């Protein structure tokens, strides 16, 4: 239906690599929620170590692949994991050690800057304060899923 730009590789091996990279990102998603909780129960050092190890996996992948996980251009992997990187700033407020910095993860930091230049990312950007508000209400037990969403005029 939408032949260009192609977001998935034709090569079956590369397609399988992309699928594994996307699916292993579920570990990062779990850690996104585990990091703040670990601050309250003294397991933060262990959780931080797991988080940094998982981020290193994606840093290493960019070293092999190039500017994007799709090489010179973004692919489906870039777009599938991007929303979580947009949210990462929320946990770095309470745990600065988790921040994606140019010193610790230069390729991921550069990738994030490049992603912010893509029209699809620009057009769907959610402000950090909306992510923070949701995260706060989630931990209070009453998540406001629609915070920041424009209200219908109907």
pLDDT at 2: 63
Is residue 52, in this structure, part of any structural domain at all? yes
For residue 153, the tally of other CB atoms under 10 A from its CB is: 4
Q: In this model, does residue 135 exceed pLDDT 50?
A: yes
Q: Does some domain include residue 26?
A: yes
Q: Which pLDDT belongs to residue 3?
A: 64
Virtual torsion, Cα 86, 88, 94, 97, nearest 10 deg: -140
Q: Domain for residue 150, yes or no?
A: no
Cα–Cα distance, 67 to 85 (Å, whole number):
16
Residue 81 contacts residue 22 (beta carbons within 8 Å): yes
Domain count, the chain: 1
pLDDT at 154 over 50: no
pLDDT digits (tens, 9 = 90+) for 63-117: 999 999 999 999 999 999 999 999 888 888 888 999 999 999 999 999 999 999 9
Q: Examine residue 122 and state whether it is found in any structural domain, yes or no.
A: yes
Cα separation, 64 vs 133, in Å, equals 36
Give a yes or no: residue 145 inside a domain: no
- pLDDT for 5-16, tens place per residue? 788 888 999 999
Q: What pLDDT does residue 103 have?
A: 97
Residue at 104 is within a domain: yes
Residue 141 covered by a domain: no
Which residues, including other chains, have CB under 8 Å from residue 93's CB and lie 6 or more apart?
132
What is the domain-level CATH number for residue 71?
1.20.1050.10
First to last CA, the chain: 32
Please give the residue range of the domain that contains residue 74: 12-127
Which of 26, 23, 27, 44 shows the shortest CA–CA distance to 35? 44
């Amino acid at each position: 239906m939408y032949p260009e730009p192609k977001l998935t590789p034709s090569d079956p091996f590369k397609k399988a690599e992309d699928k594994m990279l996307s699916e292993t990102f579920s570990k990062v998603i779990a850690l996104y929620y585990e990091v703040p909780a670990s601050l309250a129960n003294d397991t933060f050092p262990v959780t931080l170590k797991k988080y940094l190890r998982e981020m290193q996996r994606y840093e290493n992948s960019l070293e092999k692949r190039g500017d994007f996980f799709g090489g010179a251009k973004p692919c489906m992997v870039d777009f599938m994991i991007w929303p979580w990187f947009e949210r990462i700033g929320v946990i770095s407020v309470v745990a600065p050690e988790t921040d994606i910095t140019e010193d610790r993860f230069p390729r991921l930091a550069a990738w994030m800057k490049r992603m912010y230049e893509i029209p699809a990312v620009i057009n769907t950007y959610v402000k950090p304060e909306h992510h923070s508000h949701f995260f706060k209400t989630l931990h209070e037990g009453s998540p406001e899923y629609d915070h920041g969403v424009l209200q219908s005029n109907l």
